Structure 1
Amino acid sequence: MEIVTTIRREVLTLPAAHLGPDNPLPPLRPLDETHRVEDRDKEDLPRDMARQIDYAPLHSLLPVRVRDGYDRRREPRPIDTLVIENDRLRVTVLPGLGGRIGSLVHRPTGRELLYRNPVFQPANFALNGAWFSGGIEWNIGATGHTALSCSPVHAARVPAPDGGRMLRLWEWERLRDLPFQVDLWLPEGSDFLYVGVRIRNPHEKPVPTYWWSNIAVPEDCRVLAPAEEAWQFGYERRLRRVPVPVHDGTDRTYPRNSTYAADYFYEVPERRRRWIAALDADGRGLVQTSTDELGGRKLFVWGRGPGGRRWQEWLTEPGTGGYCEIQAGLARTQLEHVRLEAGGEVSWMEAYGPFDARPDGEWTGVLRAAEDRLEAVLPRADVDAARTAWQPYADTEPGERLATGSGWGALEVLRAGWKLPGTPFDESTLGEEQQPWLHLLRAGSLPEPPDSRPPGGTLVARHWRDQLETAPATPLTEYHLGVAQWHAGDRAQAVRSWERGLRHAPVRWPVLRCLAVADQEARHPERAAERYAQAFDDLGRVRREAGDDDGSWTAVTAALGREAVEALLAVGRTGDARSVWQRLDPATRERGRFRLIEAGLLLAEGRREEARAVFDAGFEVADLREGDEVIGRLWGALTDEPLPEHHDFRMRPTP
């Protein structure tokens, strides 16, 4: 009996780490992005690629906050899912985690077509921190994993072109201030999931945009893509053109053949069909194809080196098979951003499904056979026709709501009066985070936070900065205005705003911390250290007066204490650094990041054996950044012994 396509709610229980609170301090420092191209490499790039690499790269996370409150203590936790299913495919979507597709199962064979992570373990790979591996993720915003990786999106049923129902996901991307939608359409009897994507620019000026659909697949495979050349990018930050499939005597289309982590951005000829596939030794796997608007294709490999293997273990659990990523994007490389004109939009159709083809053999012949097979099971014209059929439905208003995202889109729609058919950002979604800014919008002033609580996040777009400039100049308004001015690049004016706010502020630590960061960026480390010490003292006073019975001040104490210790150590004030350390919450001091800080503090105090004992006792830095070599550097300062395997996260050859 034929089964019609259904969309239903389910609950998935996984061993999952706790996400914890976001970092309450505004991210004022320049974005630590590993995907930067050496200037010497830009001279030899195609002109359009070089132009798009230089076009509006992201320099700041504002207004987004850093998500670093997660841990590595996994226990069974329920995760809400939405399941789309017909008689051929079962698609599991995670609306609370960026709308990621967590699983894609071919029902007739029972084959999982993706790498499905058996745990939920955040790690520091997203632009704003928390990210997890596995499935198909929708990367929008800027180079890197989206800031929405571990955030909820809106979801609802909408009519599909074939008379059935699609699942619509939509949200407001805050780094570029753009609304987007992802329509998941699984026609009855289809072996392929269609995915219609649209990004809109409602602003009166062009905006840089970015998109890469990121598909995790088991790494015991060969990756096929219609290209004879690729742009290789590794953690040495070099971008160079290399042949495909063999480079430096090794066939790089087999992910396990590489030693170190690397990206391979395929140079797909202009008129050739856009597709990429990952096939196991038996020639079975997954294929992704799209209309031509989504022109880029990429392979990411972890490599077989110790750092790559360690990261693979870090993101899941022992005994789990490794994965690689095949991706599709708007540009040839992830280092580029694309100009989206004022009032414009960009949209395309993707398709995902099972694929069988010969993986081994001479490259040109393998590709020709695979493309013939793809044309037989899913003609290129059918994908183009699916896009044409879907486009009139992209504006259809959603029906039954299945999940709720953030209220930021609702705030922007209220502010600007935009009409965005198909992606309603209802006023009912406005929450606690949006309330101060809604008050500013309607009453022209910012309300003071209750009980001297931390000031909350800052909106930094030009229109919000203008409203802050005309609002009553309270200490809180001066604080937020300074953050917005800092984001705009007017650092001198930001410092003046913070200094004005400091004169009458009953709570001084938020502004002192901002001024300390400004001092660091201006290369005044001694003054920065003094301001950090004052800020931490003031935070302690405010916390005592507030009566911290529920532990709600723990996150800000940890965040400010971490920065203060590091700033004080940088200028040799070890006694003051120790004083800050001792005033941190005991549970905070036991976290892996703070155990690492303690080892550095002990080393600075000349207590080398005790610092080594911290390593011997063991710790895990849950929020260790992709490409960060801080553990190795500290270990090297303590001993000449080889770095222990469980601390080896190096993603490049040792210099």
Structure 2
Amino acid sequence: MSELRLTTLTLPTAPVGPVNPLPPLFGGADLHQVEDTTLADEEMRHNIGYGRVPSVMPYLMQDGYTRERAPAEHPVAVLENATLRATFLLGAGGRLWSLVHKPTGRELLFRNPVFQPANLALRGAWLAGGVEWNIGTIGHTPTTCEPLHAARVTRPDGTPVLRMWEFERIRGVVFQIDAYLPDDSQVLLVHIRITNPLDRTVPMYWWSNIAVPEAPDVRVLAPADAAWQFSYDRRIRHVGLPAPDGTDLSRTTLSRDAADYFFDVPAGRRRWVTALDAGGRGLVQASTERLRGRKLFLWGQGEGGRHWQEWLAEPGHAYLEIQAGLARTQLEHLPMPAGARWSWVEAYGLLEADPGAVHGDDWTAAQDAARTGLDRLVPQSVLDAELEAAARWVDQRPDELLQAGSGWGALEQHRRHRAGEAPLTTPGAPFPDRALGPEQAPWLELLDHGSITAADPGLAPASYQIDPAWQEPLGAADGWLAQLHLGTLHAHTGDHEAARKAWLHSVELHPTAWAWRSLAALAAHSGDLDEAARAYREALRLAPALLPLVLESAGVLLRAGHPREVLERLEALDAAQRATGRVRWTEARAALQAGDVERCGRLLHEGIEVADIREGEGSLHELWFAHRAAQRSAPEAELPSAYDFRMLGADAPH
């Protein structure tokens, strides 16, 4: 009997923490710039250059977490039938956290033993493990550490459905995830739909990011004889499978370096990917045709890759990722026409295949054996029939709301009503007014009264907008806050001069740290470091203890050649702030630039742990080597493993 229930899961947890109040005006998105597309075909080159965003705005960054963990309860939804038990982490983007095959007791996914945010997502905070649902733009989705709306729905045949949905603010679309386990199903079924309610085409991106355990006996298979490789040198290469350079990349523990391999699945072949152990068993993911792409990500066996694995989980818990997406690679966006609705069905279950064939030297025979096992587990006709049947219940209203997500969908409904536009046409994914909260309050005021006010100019605005639909009401409103928001909207659209004028007007009406910081960030983005330093000093005069502002300004002040000023500002922080890893790294960097090699060395020797170090960020090892170089007479020494996050020195999609 299929069942859906709510419960809690206790995990050692480092809370995501508060958002950074400073909007990421000119950065913060996981842009994955590709420097060499020579080997890509025309379609891929077009899609790589299409749909890029200047930042993750209107979302704010989530960088308030630490490395300190304590047991905490997390709300989860559990779907269960006689064969599978699926656990969804409702507070973290609806992530499928665990999928257990009950007859064998086998966990099919990599189930992280800890809840530890790390800096890999578009907004910073990201979790390793399970299946993550990624939408919007290249990188780990803005909702990955946010609660989604969740509800119980009942299919016409009585099967309970876990429905999760949200309004995605970068693209202005609605996505809906329906997960269910029919009584006799050997696979978890997930129906996904994206709705573009706009009257224009929008760039679209979706990847289901699946983590599975990594081991020497695990082999990754997909229905492809070649792959598009993208590594940390930012070049695309087309390579044959399985061993283009003599190393079998389908066995991830043989590879030294981290890399992405996007399987080049020919048209007409069934869409699937799997990771199988020595017995020919493991998780398989398959889908209907729209989910075109398949990918393998591996961390590699280098010191940096192993360190990242431990950083994201715990020692002894290695994983790899098999993924599925709309485009052939994660470097691309696809055009989604106005009013379009894109749907597909995914299946997750235990694949059993001939171990001799799947681990043999014949790559074609290995693929055939896996596909044969998949066809036994769930024929393609079943998935196609599920997609067709879903059309009859996908817009069915929920039976019971289980969790509220954000209030942004409800606000969009209000905006559309005020503007005389059609409402969001997603009756099965409603956005109730009770989800509205403090983040939406200023915008409701603007819609209802034509004004937007702040109770205290010393407090940062709780939210921002980038939709051009808000430009006219903001332009008609009075006050420093309206001008601040108007400048932010202009900056996102690329009209930097209009942004500067709006922020200057905001300062004239009422000087705030928020407008001065925006002017400083614009000057730094434009390369005027002297003007940026001046504006940051004005912002710091109004908010001297705001740690994100102190750290952001420190980076510019160091570039402008003011290391001693940075040290003075860091020394003015309280003891708790000074103890954070990012502050200690900034202090060591400023000390080295000021010529105080001993102070830098002391900090490095005591230890610097930067909780929000970014994938591909070289800050720690570069500082260590710079300090060694400054100690001209010091003996040679190996880079401490705690400072080794090296991959190949640049970001890669993950």
TM-score range, shorter chain: over 0.9
Secondary structure of the 2:171 match is coil
Q: Secondary structure at the match of 2:543?
A: helix
Q: CA deviation at 1:32?
A: 5.5
SS of 2:548's partner is helix
How far, CA to CA, are the matches of 1:620 and 1:225 in structure 2?
A: 39
Matching of residue 628 in structure 1 with residue 634 in structure 2: no
Aligned equivalent of 1:518: 522
Identify which of 256, 261, 272 aligns with 2:258: 261
Q: Which residue pairs with 1:469 in the alignment?
A: 475
- 8 Å CA contact retained: 1:574, 1:605: yes
Alignment match, 1:548 = none
- Partner of residue 20, structure 2: 23
Tell me the equivalent position of 2:76: 81
Tell me, yes or no, if the aligned pair for 1:536 and 1:580 is still in contact at 8 Å: no
Stretch deviating more after TM superposition (45-54 or 86-95): 45-54
Q: Distance in 2 between matches of 1:653 and 1:468?
A: 42
Deviation at 1:342, TM superposition (A): 0.6
Tell me which residue corresponds to 1:544: none
Q: 544, 561, 571: which one pairs with 1:582?
A: 571
Structure-2 residue corresponding to 1:398:
398
Of residues 348, 351, 356, the one that matches 1:352 is 348
Question: Is the contact between residue 31 and residue 58 of structure 1 (CA under 8 Å) also seen in structure 2?
Answer: no
**Is 1:371 equivalent to 2:367 in the alignment?**
no
2:466 to 451, 460, 466: 460
- Does residue 1:218 correspond to 2:222, yes or no? no
The amino acid of 2:556's aligned partner reads A
Q: Shift in Å at residue 138 of structure 1?
A: 0.2
Bigger mean CA deviation after superposition, 264-273 or 351-360: 351-360
Cα offset, 1:653, TM superposition: 7.0
* Counterpart among 104, 109, 116 of residue 111 in structure 2: 116
| 1:459-495 alpha-carbon deviations (Å, 9 max, x no partner) | 11100122211222x1111111001100010000100
Aligned twin of 1:293: 290
Q: Which residue of 2 aligns with 1:311?
A: 308
Aligned equivalents of 1:244 and 1:321: distance in 2? 27
Is 1:141 matched up with 2:146?
Answer: no
Instruction: Give a deviation string over 1:378-407, Cα, whole Å, max 9, x none.
Output: 111111111111121111111111111110
Distance in 1 between residues matched to 2:322 and 2:393, nearest whole Å: 29
Question: Distance in 2 between the 1:224 and 1:481 partners?
Answer: 50
Task: Give me the whole-angstrom Cα distance separating, in 2, the residues matched to 1:611 and 1:573.
Answer: 16
Map 1:98-113; keep pairs closer than 5 Å.
98-113=93-108
- TM-score between the two structures when normalised by the length of structure 1: 0.94
1:50 aligns with 2:35: no
What is the match of residue 335 of structure 1?
331
Structure 1 residue 266, shift from structure 2 partner: 0.4
How far did residue 504 of structure 1 move? Answer: 2.2
Tell me how far 1:608 sits from its aligned partner. 0.7
Structure 1 residue 31 displacement after superposition: 4.1
Conservation of the 8 A alpha-carbon contact between 1:91 and 1:104: yes
Q: What is the letter of the counterpart of residue 374 of structure 2?
A: L
Structure 2 stretches lacking a partner, 5+ long: 417-422, 630-636
Q: Deviations over 1:181-230 (max 9, x none)?
A: 00001000211000000000001111111100011001121001000000
Match of 1:596, SS state, is: helix
Q: Partner residue of 1:424?
A: 430
Residue aligned with 1:251, SS: coil
Map 1:181-220 to 2 at 5 A. Answer: 181-220=176-215
Aligned-pair Cα RMSD in Å: 1.4
Q: Residue type of the partner of 2:103?
A: P
CA contact (8 A) 1:274 1:290 kept: yes
Question: How far apart in 2 are the matches of 1:249 and 1:452?
Answer: 61
Q: Is the 8 A contact 2:563 2:590 kept in 1?
A: yes
Offset, 1:258 = 1.2
Structure 1 segment 627-646 matched on structure 2, within 5 A: 627-640=616-629, 641-646=637-642
Residues 18, 72 of structure 1: 8 Å contact kept: no
In structure 1, the partner of 2:446 is 440
1:174 CA drift (Å): 1.4
Pairs aligned (count)? 631
Q: Distance in 1 between the 2:369 and 2:274 partners?
A: 13
Stretch moving more, 457-466 or 635-644: 635-644
Q: Distance in 1 between matches of 2:310 and 2:156?
A: 42
8 Å contact 2:291–2:326 — kept in the other structure?
yes
- Which one of 599, 609, 621 corresponds to residue 610 of structure 1? 599
Conserved 8 A contact 1:160-1:185: no
Q: Is the 8 A contact 1:34 1:627 kept in 2?
A: no
Residue pair 1:161, 1:390 contacting (<8 A) in 2 also: no
Partner-residue secondary structure (3-state), 1:247: coil
Letter in 2 for 1:159: T
Specify the alignment match of 2:506 in structure 1.
501
Tell me the SS of whatever aligns to 2:554. Answer: helix
- 1:628-652: CA deviations, max 9, x gaps? 1111111111005332111100111
After superposition, what is the alpha-carbon deviation per residue over 1:396-423, rounded to whole angstroms, capped at 9, x for unaligned?
A: 1111111111101110122113332211
Q: Kindly state the Cα deviation for residue 53 of structure 1 after the two structures are TM-superposed.
A: 1.1
TM-aligned CA deviation for residue 162 of structure 1? 2.9
In the alignment, is the contact (CA less than 8 A) between 1:525 and 1:567 conserved in 2? yes
Equivalent residues of 1:184, 1:195 under 8 A apart:
yes
Which residue number in structure 2 is paired with residue 551 of structure 1? none
**2-side partners of 1:288 and 1:380: how far apart?**
12
Q: TM-score, normalised on structure 2?
A: 0.95
Aligned equivalents of 1:568, 1:272: Cα separation in 2: 55
Distance 1:560 1:236 in 2: 32
Which one of the candidate residues 32, 42, 55 is aligned to 1:60? 55
Equivalence for 1:569? 558
Deviation at 1:321, TM superposition (A): 2.2
Question: Which residue number corresponds to residue 652 of structure 1?
Answer: 648
Q: Which moved more, 1:332-341 or 1:155-164?
A: 155-164
Provide the C-alpha distance between the structure 2 equivalents of 1:195 and 1:43, rounded to a whole number of angstroms. 37
Letter in 2 for 1:257: L
- Structure 2: distance between partners of 1:419 and 1:268: 34
What is the rounded CA distance, in whole Å, between the counterparts of 1:157 and 1:35 in structure 2? 37
For the pair 1:241 / 2:238, whether they are aligned, the reply is yes
In structure 2, what is the Cα distance between the partners aligned to 1:648 and 1:448? Answer: 45
CA distance in structure 2 between the partners assigned to 1:389 and 1:302 by the alignment? 39
Q: Residue 451 and residue 36 in structure 1: after superposition, are their counterparts in 2 closer, same or farther (change >3 A)?
A: closer
Q: Tell me, what secondary structure is at the counterpart of 1:21?
A: coil
